[in-house]
Amino acid sequence: MNAPFFPCAGSRALHAPTRREFVYGLGTSLGSVALTSLLAAEQKSPLAPKPQMVPAKAKNCIFLMMEGGPSHIDCFDPKPVLEKLHLKEFTREGKMKSAMESGKRYYVKSPFKFAQHGQSGAWMSEPWQHLSKVADELCFYRGCQVDSVNHPTAMYQMNCGNRFGGDPAIGSWVNYGLGSVNQDLPGFIVLPEISYPQGGSANWGNGYLPAHFQGTALRAKGSPILDLQPPQGITPEHQRANLDLLGKLNAKHAEEHPWHDELKARMNNYELAFRMQMQVPEVIGLEKEDAKTKEAYGIGTDATDAFGRKCLLARKLVEKGVRFVQLYAGTWDSHDYIERAHGNLIRQVDQPIAALIADLKQRGLLDDTLIVWCGEFGRTPDNGVRGGTAYGRDHNPKAMTIWMAGGGCKAGHSIGSTDDRGMEAIEEVHHVRDLHVTLLRLLGLDDNKLTFYHGGRFKQLSQIGGQVIDKLIA
């Protein structure tokens, strides 16, 4: 295929800006003019690859979104002091108290044993049986803080920088900044759970960026892309015949409106779509992967099958040049029964993630690929008595663990720390906007240059600008 496939050649906002289009286009915003000026004039596609703004190793990103708020205290940030405090009463003071924190509260120790792994001595809880084997590939970060204590707003903030939704997701920004090396696939692909997270698809929306940068969800069940196939009974040949008639009518119409450039873009779009519906199933199918690889990812085993498939597909997509792949797993919102809930969740993602890292490394792709693992916030060391004798944890925007692998991050290090109870970050503390700036930097982008004019001002992922967390970069 020569023509770009998903982000068709035809958005008024994006394709090569002949003056004509501004003459006859509609609603062209200054933003799109700014963007088109970003594109070299000869570039035909909005998603044509663009050079990095600053030198960096990572070219792609696989973002593992552990929706619901995984507990740092039970995964990567052991707090032995909680053993002693276990079930001792806890009182929270202060104005920021919500109903979640009402009633009697108690400290809760982690049900999991912790051990250090690899040469770096990274702490991990017992259920991380596989990830612990690639411990030295990971860079842990314990200093991040977010603003919101509520899922959807925290999810929006982690994904899009803004708590209230409607802003572009990181994957959209990255594609806007770097373009895509594969014009035949969307540059930003999301592999959601069967049930969408709170806040829905706005978590991977393009916001005010042009629609080409929207995350394309490959749905976990049913048609991976909505209406990818024609209604039942309609063969490709049948559809081809319809397309030919459409071509005829459109050609005549275009002849009568030679100055109207959008028409051609829209015509091309139909041909692209037709090719796409043949090719996508093959691109995203895992049938041709060998049995050993599938086994390594945990495919075929009940607990790990679903996430294993996502991880393997993520590798395939990155290999094909998809710039940004985001995987969802959840929900990690374990207010009760943390041992059971987190234990199960860790088991579901542990082996697939470890396999992904090993696989990328073996294929020489890990240096090029930044892997990020995080939730929208961490969890508290205490809990109310929601489930009687069941122990869980509430939401904690002040402390969390994020880890990265590959892509020029500082592997084999743990950066930042939280207080002795895991309540609050105390060292190398940064607002999530700095994390965003750092992720962009790892991908060769400068948040201060990656701006888009919208609604009368230049907007950026970090909202107001932030600083790179240098310690996270190798």
Partner 1 sequence: MLTRIACLLALIASTLHAEDAESLFVRRVWPLFQEKCLACHGNDEKKIKADYDMRTYESATKGGESETKALVPGKPDESPLYLASTRQHEDWEPMPPKEADQLKPEQLAWIKEWITSGAPWPDEAKRNVIAKASAEKWSAEDGITVKVVGALSPEWANRRYKPESLWGYQPVKKPVLSNQPSVHPIDELLAVKDPAPAADARTFIRRATFDLTGLPPTPEEVEAFATAYDRSNPSDQTDLIGTLIDKLLSSLHYGERMARHWLDVVRYADSSGFANDYERGNAWRYRDYVVRSFNADKPYDQFIREQIAGDALLESDAGTPARNDASSAGKSARITPNSELLIAPGFLRMGPWELTGMEVAKVARQRFLDDVTNSVGETFLAHSLQCARCHDHKFDPVPTHDYYAMQACFSTTQLTEREAPFLKEENTAGFEEKKHLETRRAEHMAVLQRLDDKLLQNAQKWLADKKLDSAKWNAAVTQAKKGGGKNPKKGFSDVFGTARQILTKQGLPEDSFPPKLVGFEPEDFGNERVARKGLERLKWEMERYEPYAFSVYDGVTIPMVTVYQPLRMPGDRMKNGELEQTAILGGGDPFSPTAKVKPGVLSIFGSVEFPEGIEGRRTALAKWIASKDNPLTTRTLVNRLWLWHFGQAIAGNPNNFGSTGKKPTHPELLDFLAATLVEKNWSIKEMHRLIMTSAAYRRTSFPTRSKTDESENSSYATFTPRRLMAEELRDAMLSITGELNPTLGGIPNRPEINIEVAMQPRQVMGTFASAWVPNPLPQQRHRRSLYALKIRGLRDPFMEVFNEPAPDFSCEAREVSTVTPQVFSLFNGQASYDRALALANRVLKEKAADPIVRIFTLAYSRQPTADEKAACEAHWQQMIAKQTTLTFAKTQPPLEIRRDAVEENTGEKFSFQEKLPGYTDFVPDLQPADCDAKTRALADVCLVLLNSNEFAYLY
For residue 62, the cross-strand partners are 325, 371
Is 97 one of the binding residues for partner 1 (CB under 8 A)?
yes
Is 333 one of the binding residues for partner 1 (CB under 8 A)?
yes
Binder of partner 1 out of 37, 80, 116, 164 (CB under 8 A):
164
Is 201 one of the binding residues for partner 1 (CB under 8 A)?
yes
Smallest distance, partner 1 to C-beta of residue 189, A: 13
264 versus 361: smaller Cβ distance to partner 1: 264
User: Residue count at the site for partner 1 (CB under 8 A)?
Assistant: 122
- Radius of gyration over every alpha carbon of the chain, rounded to an integer in angstroms: 24
What is the rounded distance in angstroms from the CA atom of residue 149 to the CA atom of residue 131? 28
Owner of token pair 């690639």: 134
Residue range at the interface with partner 1 (CB under 8 A); choices 104-112, 173-181, 207-215, 399-407: 207-215
Binder of partner 1 out of 341, 371, 442, 469 (CB under 8 A):
341
Smallest distance, partner 1 to C-beta of residue 202, A: 6
Structure token pair of residue 317: 């997509």
238 versus 363: smaller Cβ distance to partner 1: 238
Is 38 one of the binding residues for partner 1 (CB under 8 A)?
no
With contact defined as beta carbons under 8 Å apart, do 456 and 433 qualify?
A: no
**Rule CB under 8 A: which of 373-402 touch partner 1?**
386-390, 395
247 versus 285: smaller Cβ distance to partner 1: 247
With contact defined as beta carbons under 8 Å apart, do 285 and 309 qualify?
A: no
With contact defined as beta carbons under 8 Å apart, do 371 and 357 qualify?
A: yes
Smallest distance, partner 1 to C-beta of residue 364, A: 32
Residue range at the interface with partner 1 (CB under 8 A); choices 81-89, 309-317, 405-413, 448-456: 448-456
Binder of partner 1 out of 37, 102, 116, 279 (CB under 8 A):
102
Torsion angle in degrees (nearest 10) through CA of 201, 374, 71, 316: 80
**Rule CB under 8 A: which of 216-275 touch partner 1?**
216, 219, 222-223, 225-231, 233, 238, 241-242, 245-246, 248-250, 252-254, 257-260, 262-263, 265-267, 269-270, 272-273
Cis peptide before 331 (omega within 30 of 0): yes
What is the rounded distance in angstroms from the CA atom of residue 391 to the CA atom of residue 395? 14
What is the rounded distance in angstroms from the CA atom of residue 201 to the CA atom of residue 10? 24
Smallest distance, partner 1 to C-beta of residue 254, A: 7
Write the CB contacts of 157 (distance below 8 Å, at least 6 apart in sequence). 146, 147, 148, 163, 376, 432
What is the rounded distance in angstroms from the CA atom of residue 354 to the CA atom of residue 296? 9
Smallest distance, partner 1 to C-beta of residue 429, A: 14
